[in-house]
Amino acid sequence: MFLPRTPLQYWVICPILGGPGPWWLGALVWAAIGAVITGGLFYARHRSTVLGVLLGAAAGAVGGALLLSPLWFFLVSLLDRRCVGCGAKVAPSGGSCTHCGHEFHEPSWAESLVGIAHNTGRVIVTIEMALLVGGVILALSGKNAVDTYRVLFEQGLGTDVKRANALLAATPIIFTGLGTALAFRMGIFNLGVEGSLYMGALGAAWVGFTFVDWPGPVMIVVAFVFAMLIGGLWCLIPGYLKARLRVDEVVTTIMLNYVAIEFTSYMVQSGPFFVPGKSNGMSESIAEQAQLPRLVARSQLNASFIVALVCVVVIIFIMRRLTLGYELRIVGDNPLFARWSGIPLGKTILKVMFLSGLLGGMAGAGQVMGVHYNFTARFSRGYGFDGMTMALLGRNSPLGILIGALLFGVLRSGSTTVEMFTDVPIDLVDILQALIIFFVAIDLNVDFLRRRRAASQSLPPQPRDDAGHSAASVAA
């Protein structure tokens, strides 16, 4: 008896293969992964691999089967559809009817749901693989990986205050991840959200310690708006160079990051915002009424987290419902077609870069008004580059960025105290972050190769002459 083939890509089931396939292949691959990882752990701890390979293979096979079962029994039937032309059953992944040739242009709601589950599954599997390889590294170095991860997540999620601190650490990454994803979705590699964050933070601090007589709500709104405008205008510089002069945005955005960092440092260390008697290059403190309200007692989690969640919803709406979102997708998928279809590429680039910098400015304003209460030189822990990682990890999906940022928040929050309870250095979080980037790169390359292979297979066969040569080779 032959079982149906799952319509989901195997990234939901295993982190190696892509495309539909027989159901047992997912369980087999998981068995191999479990055998290798568990065997390595057993060898590192007990100098024995046979028992580890057997246990890992069994656990991997069971886990793969459990992961695939709900997909096979529920989603296959959910995605079954019939052709509106002839009424015949159509494969869930089919783009046209095999009986009458009718083409399907609009995806069903079930397919959209599967697309969201697909992206979310990629994020989760990539993170799982990073944690597994990080555990192998810990075991090979003589550390107890299970205890280390237990302490790490207990310190990140153990109490209400620790959970609030994890959300606090995730907040700026949500902003910067959304800003980077907007540009990435259009094919613009904007790496300058970090610079917008610094410029927006300086602008928000200036409003906070200058207009001290204003009411609190008015000052908070003005500070955020001012930070958003400065951050957006800062990203318009490389955007204009890209749109008008075709200057590579990777170079200009990276260089402008350093300009923003050094400029803001000068402003508080020896420039107009220098305050005698304060160390570390700090500006004046913002007015008390300009400080964002806290959401949890004994934690600095503040209202900027709520603003970040609102931004996730807004970006989803922009990408799915507005004309700008449609233009982003078209330009990102096929710039030549977008140009010939009448989409103004220059204006679209400027809009996207402004929105990207705007979100970076919001991240800086949230840090100044909700955490530091002043501007401190070089205060960022690389939030802009963490946002780039989240954009790649979440495949430019706002929900994927939110999930990845929340996990990073847990890791960052737990890593601050993991050295107190274990002999593992705080650099473990940096290793995990590097592993996540590594597996994201593998994912992107596998997806690129699969798309290129599918495109080459879909090309029509070229006519050949009597000698068997194609027209293209004869012309050459």
Higher per-residue pLDDT: 324 or 279: 324
Q: Are residues 361 and 399 in the same domain?
A: yes
Q: Are residues 126 and 224 in the same domain?
A: no
Q: Are residues 108 and 162 in the same domain?
A: no
Q: Which of 143, 168, 201 corresponds to the end of one domain?
A: 143
Q: Are residues 400 and 369 in the same domain?
A: yes
How far apart (Å, rounded) are the C-alpha atoms in residues 93 and 420? 51
Q: Are residues 83 and 169 in the same domain?
A: no
pLDDT tens across 93-140, in order?
Answer: 455 666 666 665 545 555 566 566 666 667 777 777 888 888 888 888
User: Residue 427 has what pLDDT?
Assistant: 78
Q: Are residues 132 and 170 in the same domain?
A: no
Q: Is residue 5 part of a domain?
A: no
Higher per-residue pLDDT: 40 or 195: 195
Query: For 200-221, what is the mean pLDDT?
Result: 95
Contact 65, 6 (CB under 8 A): no
Q: Is residue 418 part of a domain?
A: yes
pLDDT bracket for residue 77 (50, 70, 90): very low
Q: Is residue 36 part of a domain?
A: yes
Q: Is residue 197 part of a domain?
A: yes
Q: Which of 95, 118, 143 corresponds to the end of one domain?
A: 143
Q: Is the pLDDT of residue 209 over 60?
A: yes
Q: Is residue 469 part of a domain?
A: no
Q: Are residues 122 and 154 in the same domain?
A: no
Q: Are residues 222 and 152 in the same domain?
A: yes
Answer yes or no: pTM beyond 0.85.
Answer: no
Higher per-residue pLDDT: 117 or 153: 153
User: Residue 148 has what pLDDT?
Assistant: 84
Q: Which of 381, 403, 422 corresponds to the end of one domain?
A: 422
Contact 239, 245 (CB under 8 A): no
Q: Are residues 102 and 235 in the same domain?
A: no
User: Residue 419 has what pLDDT?
Assistant: 74
Q: Are residues 120 and 170 in the same domain?
A: no
Comparing 148-157, 439-448, 453-462, which segment has the lowest mean pLDDT?
453-462
Q: Is the pLDDT of residue 6 over 60?
A: no
| Number of separate domains in the chain | 2
Give Cα 377 to chain centroid, integer Å: 27
How far apart (Å, rounded) are the C-alpha atoms in residues 410 and 387? 15
User: Residue 5 has what pLDDT?
Assistant: 40
Q: Is residue 2 part of a domain?
A: no
pLDDT bracket for residue 236 (50, 70, 90): very high
Q: In CATH, what number is assigned to the domain containing residue 379?
A: 1.10.3470
Q: Are residues 204 and 137 in the same domain?
A: no
Q: Is the pLDDT of residue 175 over 50?
A: yes
Q: Are residues 257 and 124 in the same domain?
A: no
- What's the DSSP call for residue 376? B
User: Residue 321 has what pLDDT?
Assistant: 85
How far apart (Å, rounded) are the C-alpha atoms in residues 174 and 464? 55
Q: Is residue 7 part of a domain?
A: no
Q: Is the pLDDT of residue 91 over 90?
A: no
Tell me the average pLDDT of the chain: 79
Domain carrying residue 414: 145-422
Q: Is residue 376 part of a domain?
A: yes
